[in-house]
Structure 1
Amino acid sequence: MLALLSPLAAPAQEDTRTPSTQASSAPVLPEDPALAQLLAEALETRPELHQAEAQARAARERVPQAGALPDPTLQLGIQNDGFTGLMIGEMEGSYFSIMASQALPFPGKRALRTELAELGATAASTQVVRARLSVEAEVHRGYLDLLLVRERLLLLERLQTLWKQSADMARIRYETGEGAQSDLLRAQLELNRLRQRRLALQAEERIRVQTLNRLSGRPLEAPLPTTMRLRDVGVPELGDSEAAVRDALERSPELAERHTLVARAGKQVALARLERLPDFTVSAGVMPRGGDFPPMWQANVGFNLPIFSGRKQNRAVAESRAQAMAPTHATETLEQVLRLRVQERLIALAALRDTAAIYRDGLLMQSAATVESTLTQYRVGRASFASVLEANTGIIRDEEEYLRTLVEAQRLAIAQAEVSLEPVASMGGSSQGAGGMPGAGSTPSAPASGAAPAGSAPGAAASSSSSSMSGM
């Protein structure tokens, strides 16, 4: 019996490597060739990333356009005396005309427009960073979900072995007249229920595989072997509070975009001030008159008169100043939210680390010992079958809770690597458990609360897969 329960009671030690705060996405899972290949393929094939890159290229193409001069104007004309015939060369006032004009913005306007376009391109490039972080986080979460469902299948096999042993004991006791027939029937009932759960888990496994295959651009039904066990993942480290906050502030695409928008708003105010100054138009032309008449030429310089600046240009400056305050306040708000999210993750991760230590250092071993003792006592008639039922339920429930603790801890690390703005899911129900597996003799409780699934708002701290352990 101890040989059977030892995989449950002796999980691997935690991996406490600290993620790098300088990488585009901190390594939240141990090195795994399968995961590394999925990440590389996803970053190469995801249309969301290509869309963001295309938009960033389009924004960069607007930079030279913003600083270019307006197109010059070429005019061709004719002036003739009278309507009876073409009088060019015969009359002094008749001639052909070739005129060219060029608008010239007031000095400094082109440079400011170029800077505005460059800042716009910089803001667009932050969307590429966000798309990359989101794709990486989505793959990490999907891989974690796949590891979880496969771990649950292994748990189901172990639970099935426990119930087979329990059923054998109930049969022996019934045949010898020492036990009730209801004990044997209940054990057989639980075994049949486990077959039903296996079908559901196998279907869920296919869904997780297809999700990861979609993310990496593979055929949906392509096999996806994993080389890592969920219990090998351990509880990650996010570093100290100051380092984690600094990392989030440095790598947040949203905050970088806000800083860019603040700088852009300042340039917009400066440009609005310059718009009160007149632009110029330079034109020149030549008028050949033919015959013995010498050609004529002309040159002109014109400029617009901002006589309505009180209602137009001055109001535009006031508008730009008011608009410049919005990104400034938005930046302050975002910094506060980022600091809050990091602190939430650190607090939650500390609680999960302590919880995992309780499971690893004592609770799982105690559950295994309880199962062995209860089965031994039932064999000799000193314990009821209800005690066997409770013991089998308890060890699987404890193992599920330990796995869920690891999953939730990794999701926090994934959210930190993604620089997510999503709040940490409530941990109030995590210790209540999933209620154990149906088939272990318990009634499943409501799933624990979780954040949005992969592909929606980035950085969810828990997904439906971790919550759905209650439905095993």
Structure 2
Amino acid sequence: MRTPHDLSQPVSTPGGRRHALGSLALVLVLCSPLVTLAQEETRTPTDPTLEELLAEAFKTRPELQQAEAPVRAARERVPQASALPDPVLQLGIQNDGFNGLMIGEMETSYFSIMVSQSLPFPGKRALRSEVAKLGATAASAQMGRVRLSIEAEVRRGYLELLLTRERLMLLERLQTLWKQSAEMARIRYETGEGAQSDLLRAQLELNRLRQRRIALQAEERVRVQTLNRLSGRPLETPLPTTTRVRDLGVPEPGDVEATEKDALERSPELAQQRALVAQAGQQVALARKERLPDFTVSAGVMPRGGDFPPMWQANIGVPLPIFSGSKQDRVVAERSAQADASARAVEALEQVLRLRVRERLIALAALRDTAAIYRDGLLMQSAATAESTLTQYRVGRASFASVLEANTGIIRDEEDYLRTLVDAQRLVIAQAEVSLEPVASIGGTAQAAGGMPGAGSTPSAPASGAAPTGGSPGAAASSSSSSMSGM
């Protein structure tokens, strides 16, 4: 019996030397991306293109100006809240009878000039100003959310572009595999060792790859235009990239307590809610203070003309809170209920933030372990399986269906590995964004959600052209986790 090593040696058949050359080329194609796997570092390299996109986005995005306007409006309310009411000027006349103007002739006829000013009870103006300041603080926290979201959008868009271009590279590799398979099927057919259907099927898969390349190129153009829109550039501006998805790696999950603390400190929603809690507390204090009466002070002079000396008057008015049981007291109760609701909202938000942090850390650890499996063995094993299958087909010990499955499997594993790296980077972006969105899925294997590029008929699905399906850790959270077969 020939060993796998023996099977890799040329066989004395017509065209054997061409078989050997084809097998050698296939080995080089399969192993070329694996050389760097052992040296891969789990880091996120600095990307000048990405940094430039982020800088331009922060300068040009209209959403930033839109978010700044309510903050400016809230700050303008602060001096309004502490300002005194406008004074009131009253001009009047008092006259005896209707037969003529009697000022200067009658003692009780005169002009009047009166000024009045309302004065809030001491402490009310300061509380009103504090309530307005806290409202501005809450509004500015929303500005922080907009900035975090803009950065996350750009980073996710750039990640999608990198993945699309990497998938195009995988498509090129798959095309090389199918060319090698088609050449071998042709040689076997010409020498009478293989069926014509094998050659036709290989040619069919090559044509399908051309279709998928068109779809991927269109997707790449859309990704570029989306990124240009996010950074305020003309939509068709070229975006050259040097970073590859393989360069990103999977970072260490990090310490749970430190990550939670960071999220609680940086969360715009939590900062906003805390400002609203403080504002609600000041509103309760103000509502209690509102039960104390304001004052209205007025003074006036009344010239009487003639030999009559002018008159003057001064007044102070105080409202009588005889209906406070149905008004002021109810305001205090209302504000207290609102303050309690705000406090409970902070507690709930802190719980959600802690949960999201732990979800992402668990998912990141799972993705890191999954990536290690791919990097340390699965990809090399998949390449070796494809090489062995094609070699056995060359000597007539394997069917062409096995070649189809092996070709599909290696690219499926390669794309699943890339998808694992991308899902990990999405978690990192969400962590930096302090996102409140849940992790959609962290279970299952790193199988693709559908067929792979060139996933033609396999023994298990001869008609559909789809490879076996599965789910990768975090794959459901990926908007671009669709397989290449659907391109």
| Partner SS, residue 103 of structure 1 | strand
Asked if residue 9 in structure 1 is aligned to residue 34 in structure 2, the reply is: yes
* 1:102-122 CA distance string (max 9 Å, x none): 110100000000000000000
* 1:267-305 CA distance string (max 9 Å, x none): 111111111110000111111222222211111111111
Q: What is aligned with 1:362?
A: 377
* 8 Å Cα contact 2:448/2:483 also seen in 1: no
Q: What is aligned with 2:128?
A: 113
Q: Check 1:445–1:218 CA distance in 2 against 1; reply closer, same or farther (3 A cut).
A: farther
Unaligned runs of 5+ in 1: 18-28, 452-459
* 1:238-271 CA distance string (max 9 Å, x none): 4211111111111001111111111111111111
Distance 1:238 1:299 in 2: 74
| Partner SS, residue 91 of structure 2 | strand
| Partner SS, residue 464 of structure 1 | coil
Distance 1:258 1:284 in 2: 46
| Partner SS, residue 3 of structure 1 | helix
Q: Which amino acid aligns with 1:392?
A: N
| Partner SS, residue 467 of structure 1 | coil
Asked if residue 250 in structure 1 is aligned to residue 268 in structure 2, the reply is: no
Q: What is aligned with 1:454?
A: none
Which of 158, 172, 175 does residue 160 from structure 1 map onto?
A: 175
* 8 Å Cα contact 1:435/1:445 also seen in 2: yes
Distance 2:73 2:330 in 1: 31
Asked if residue 206 in structure 1 is aligned to residue 231 in structure 2, the reply is: no
Q: What is aligned with 2:368?
A: 353
Which of 303, 313, 326 does residue 311 from structure 1 map onto?
A: 326
* 1:405-442 CA distance string (max 9 Å, x none): 00100011111000011110113355232344252325
Asked if residue 297 in structure 1 is aligned to residue 312 in structure 2, the reply is: yes
Q: What is aligned with 1:422?
A: 437
* 1:423-466 CA distance string (max 9 Å, x none): 10113355232344252325056795999xxxxxxxx9823212
Q: Check 1:45–1:277 CA distance in 2 against 1; reply closer, same or farther (3 A cut).
A: same
The offset of 1:393, in angstroms, is: 0.7
Which of 134, 143, 164 does residue 158 from structure 2 map onto?
A: 143
Which of 108, 117, 126 does residue 141 from structure 2 map onto?
A: 126
Q: Check 1:262–1:163 CA distance in 2 against 1; reply closer, same or farther (3 A cut).
A: same
Q: Check 1:121–1:344 CA distance in 2 against 1; reply closer, same or farther (3 A cut).
A: same
Distance 2:198 2:386 in 1: 17
Q: Which amino acid aligns with 1:337?
A: V
Asked if residue 381 in structure 1 is aligned to residue 404 in structure 2, the reply is: no
Which of 454, 463, 467 does residue 478 from structure 2 map onto?
A: 463
Which of 397, 403, 421 does residue 406 from structure 1 map onto?
A: 421
Distance 1:298 1:408 in 2: 80
Q: Which amino acid aligns with 1:277?
A: L
| Partner SS, residue 432 of structure 1 | coil
* 8 Å Cα contact 1:149/1:204 also seen in 2: yes
Q: Check 1:444–1:73 CA distance in 2 against 1; reply closer, same or farther (3 A cut).
A: farther
* 8 Å Cα contact 2:118/2:296 also seen in 1: yes
The offset of 1:374, in angstroms, is: 1.9
The offset of 1:312, in angstroms, is: 1.0
Asked if residue 188 in structure 1 is aligned to residue 213 in structure 2, the reply is: no
The offset of 1:124, in angstroms, is: 0.3
Q: Which amino acid aligns with 2:139?
A: A
Q: Which amino acid aligns with 2:29?
A: L
- TM score, norm. by length of structure 1: 0.92
Q: Check 1:80–1:445 CA distance in 2 against 1; reply closer, same or farther (3 A cut).
A: farther
| Partner SS, residue 300 of structure 1 | strand
Distance 1:106 1:461 in 2: 60
Unaligned runs of 5+ in 2: 1-25, 457-464
Distance 1:74 1:353 in 2: 76
Q: Check 1:404–1:470 CA distance in 2 against 1; reply closer, same or farther (3 A cut).
A: farther
The offset of 1:343, in angstroms, is: 0.6
- TM score, norm. by length of structure 2: 0.89
* 1:67-119 CA distance string (max 9 Å, x none): 00011111111112222222222222221111111110100000000000000
Q: Which amino acid aligns with 1:386?
A: A
Q: What is aligned with 1:443?
A: 466
Q: How many corresponding residue pairs?
A: 453
Q: Check 1:424–1:257 CA distance in 2 against 1; reply closer, same or farther (3 A cut).
A: same
